[in-house]
């Protein structure tokens, strides 16, 4: 028995060695996204945007030679301790450039692995400033948390007229805690009173937190957390009859959250990267792509509503292609050198990088969940000037 076991293992080993062999006319773009875990739903939608872009433009021309672009997807399971091995997988797959990830904590955890291998990464929707700070290889195409937190605080103060806010985020999640931090700073500067609480990972009972919010006299609840918790918070807020507005950052811009909000009396707002209707041509194509593939449709949450993260994924792919073209080679080092000067006008707006590697972006959209029709209604566009 042991012998058979040993032989089986040996066979597997040999296969593992034999499998990877690159085709010469292929460029690999790594996709570093959570496909399972707390951020799985968002990660899948972001990946869909990348995959759609790849289906649309599967080749890139470098120096007159046309290369096929191959996407290699690694699941980082939304977990900081799985980030290293997922990142290693992409490094070993020979990625020229990596796209990802949804969720700043995992982006930070995987960052060093890419940095050591000299592979540039384009962050799609990781909004924490720490992702790009102090390194050469991480770039990003989305806005940052200090901006988003300020936008949120201004919105709560000016539009909703709130003087007391209650923040609820997940413990140990850099994304949640970072946003709460920036929101609090901005809100306190506006003279608001802020109570912040955190729930442990895997928590499913939010009734007590919502009661805390009520007891604290909060006039707005700011809940920067991942989609799976958002769904529970919405559900329990509705059954508890919470009547103050709930505002949330980009994560909540998802049809999963929308489904939970639909049919309730809640007032839910979120900031996001893209407002539906911004580019009808893209939307039509993307919806067609979703509807033609049942797996894609299931990954998008069962319907063809367009999530802002998919749009960002789409833009990130094209930004990567621009970088490869600008570099004139698929070598990661060349791509990294070329990236800071890459500009691209995508569906979500113009993309250019500043000296840290962050996108120079000046606008965020605020949307409100329409509880009757089940779509996000556009409320306002906020820009940096307004935020400051």
Partner 1 sequence: MEKTLRKDPAGKIGAAISACLIAALYIFLILLDNVLPANSFTLMLIPVLKKGAIYSLICVSMNLLNGFTGLFSLGQAGFLLVGAYAYSIFAIPADQHAAVYQYFDGGAIGFSIPEALSRLLGENAGNFVGAIICIIIAGLVAAAFAALIGVPVLRLKSDYLAIATLGFAEIIRAIFQWNGLGPVTNGSNMLRKYTNFSAIQIGNIKLATAFPFFISMICIGLIVLLIHSSYGRAFKAVRDDEVAAEAMGISLFKHKMLSFVISSFFAGVGGALLAMYQTTIQANAFKSAMTYEILLIVVIGGIGSISGSCIASFLYIACNEWWLRFLDSGSFFGISVPFFRDGFRKVVFSVLIMVIVLFFSRGIMGDKELSFAGMIRKHRNKTAEGGDGQ
Partner 2 sequence: MSNFVQANLPYLLAGISVGGQYALIAIGYTMVYGILRLINFAHGDVFMVAGLVMVYTTTAMPMYLSIPLVIVATVVLGFLIERVAYKPLRSAPRMSVMISAIGVSYLLQNCALYFTGGLAQVYPTIPWLSNSVTIGSATTKVVTIVTPILTVVLVFALVLFIQKTKIGMAMRAVSKDFETSQLMGIKINSVISMTFVIGCFLAAIGSLLYFTNYPSVIPTSGSMPGLKAFVAAVFGGIGSIPGAVIGAFVIGICENIIKGLGSSWTIFSDAFTFVLLIVVLLVKPTGIFGEKATDKV
Q: Which does 112 bind (CB under 5 to 8 A by kind): partner 2, partner 1, none?
A: partner 1
Q: Does 280 bind partner 2 (CB under 8 A)?
A: no
CB of 335 to partner 2, least distance (A): 31
Which alpha helices (DSSP H) does the chain contain, by range? 2-18, 40-56, 83-92, 104-117, 145-154, 174-189, 207-215, 227-239, 255-261, 280-292, 294-299, 308-327, 332-338, 384-387
Q: Does 36 bind partner 2 (CB under 8 A)?
A: yes
Closest of 286, 315, 275 to residue 141, by C-alpha? 315
CB nearer to partner 2: give 238 or 375: 238
**Is the peptide bond between 101 and the residue preceding it cis, with omega within 30 degrees of 0?**
yes
Sole residue written with tokens 């649309």: 56
CB nearer to partner 1: give 145 or 322: 145
The region of 128-136, 204-212, 254-262, 317-325 touching partner 1 under the rule CB under 8 A is 128-136
CB nearer to partner 1: give 1 or 24: 1
Cα–Cα distance measured from residue 102 to residue 308, given in angstroms and rounded to the nearest whole number: 12
The pairing of strands 376-383 and 363-369 is: antiparallel
C-beta separation of 359 from 344 below 8 A: no
Which helix (H) or strand (E) covers residue 65, if one does?
strand 65-75
Q: Please give the residues from 185 up to 224 whose contact with partner 1 meets the rule CB under 8 A.
A: 198, 200-201
Radius of gyration of the chain (CA): 21
- What 3-state DSSP class applies to 224? coil
Q: Does 85 bind partner 2 (CB under 8 A)?
A: no
Q: Which does 94 bind (CB under 5 to 8 A by kind): partner 1, partner 2, none?
A: partner 1
Q: Does 29 bind partner 1 (CB under 8 A)?
A: no
Q: Please give the residues from 333 up to 372 whose contact with partner 2 meets the rule CB under 8 A.
A: none
Cα–Cα distance measured from residue 318 to residue 163, given in angstroms and rounded to the nearest whole number: 42
Query: Any idea how long the chain is?
Result: 388
Number of residues this chain uses to bind partner 1 (CB under 8 A)? 45
Q: Which does 265 bind (CB under 5 to 8 A by kind): partner 1, partner 2, none?
A: none
CB nearer to partner 2: give 310 or 382: 310
Cα–Cα distance measured from residue 19 to residue 169, given in angstroms and rounded to the nearest whole number: 43
CB nearer to partner 1: give 197 or 279: 197
Q: Does 47 bind partner 1 (CB under 8 A)?
A: no
CB of 294 to partner 2, least distance (A): 13
Q: Please give the residues from 142 up to 181 whose contact with partner 1 meets the rule CB under 8 A.
A: 171-174, 177-178, 181
Q: Please give the residues from 292 up to 351 whose contact with partner 1 meets the rule CB under 8 A.
A: none
- What 3-state DSSP class applies to 61? strand
Contacts of 91 (CB under 8 A, 6+ apart): 30, 113, 114, 117, 119
Q: Does 197 bind partner 2 (CB under 8 A)?
A: yes
Using CB under 8 A, list all residues that contact partner 1. Answer: 1-2, 9, 12-13, 15-17, 19-20, 35-36, 75, 79-81, 83-85, 88-89, 91-94, 105, 108-109, 112-113, 116-117, 130, 133-134, 171-174, 177-178, 181, 198, 200-201
């Amino acid at each position: 028995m042991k012998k058979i076991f040993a032989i089986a293992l040996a066979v597997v080993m040999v296969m593992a060695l034999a499998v990877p062999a690159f085709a010469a006319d292929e460029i690999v773009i790594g996709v570093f996204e959570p496909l399972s875990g707390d951020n799985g739903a968002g990660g899948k939608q972001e990946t869909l945007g990348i995959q759609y872009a790849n289906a649309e433009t599967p080749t890139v021309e470098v120096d007159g030679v046309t290369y096929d672009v191959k996407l290699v997807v690694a699941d980082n399971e939304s977990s900081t301790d799985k980030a290293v091995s997922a990142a290693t997988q992409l490094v070993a797959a020979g990625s020229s450039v990596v796209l990802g990830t949804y969720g700043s904590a995992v982006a930070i955890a995987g960052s060093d692995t890419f940095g050591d291998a000299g592979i540039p990464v384009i962050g799609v929707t990781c909004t924490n400033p720490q992702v790009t700070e102090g390194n050469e290889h991480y770039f990003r195409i989305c806005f940052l948390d200090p901006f988003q937190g300020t936008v949120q605080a201004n919105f709560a103060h000016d539009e909703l007229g709130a003087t007391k806010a209650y923040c609820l985020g997940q413990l140990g999640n850099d994304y949640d805690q970072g946003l709460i931090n920036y929101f609090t700073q901005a809100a306190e500067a506006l003279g608001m009173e802020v109570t912040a609480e955190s729930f442990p990972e895997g928590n499913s009972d939010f009734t007590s937190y919502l009661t805390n919010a009520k007891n604290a006299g909060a006039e707005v609840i700011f809940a920067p957390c991942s989609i799976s918790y958002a769904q529970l918070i919405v559900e329990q807020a509705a059954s508890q009859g919470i009547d103050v507005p709930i505002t949330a950052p980009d994560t909540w811009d998802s049809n999963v959250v929308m489904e939970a909000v639909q049919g309730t009396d809640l007032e839910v707002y979120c900031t996001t990267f893209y407002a539906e209707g911004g580019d009808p041509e893209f939307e039509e194509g993307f919806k067609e792509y979703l509807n033609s593939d049942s797996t894609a449709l299931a990954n998008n949450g069962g319907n063809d509503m367009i999530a802002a993260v998919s749009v960002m994924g789409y833009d990130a792919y094209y930004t990567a292609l621009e970088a490869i073209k600008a570099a004139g080679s698929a070598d990661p080092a060349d791509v990294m050198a070329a990236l800071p000067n890459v500009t691209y006008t995508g569906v979500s707006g113009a993309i250019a990088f500043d000296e840290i590697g962050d996108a120079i972006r000046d606008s965020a959209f605020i949307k409100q969940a329409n509880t009757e029709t089940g779509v996000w209604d556009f409320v306002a566009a906020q820009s940096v000037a307004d935020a400051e």
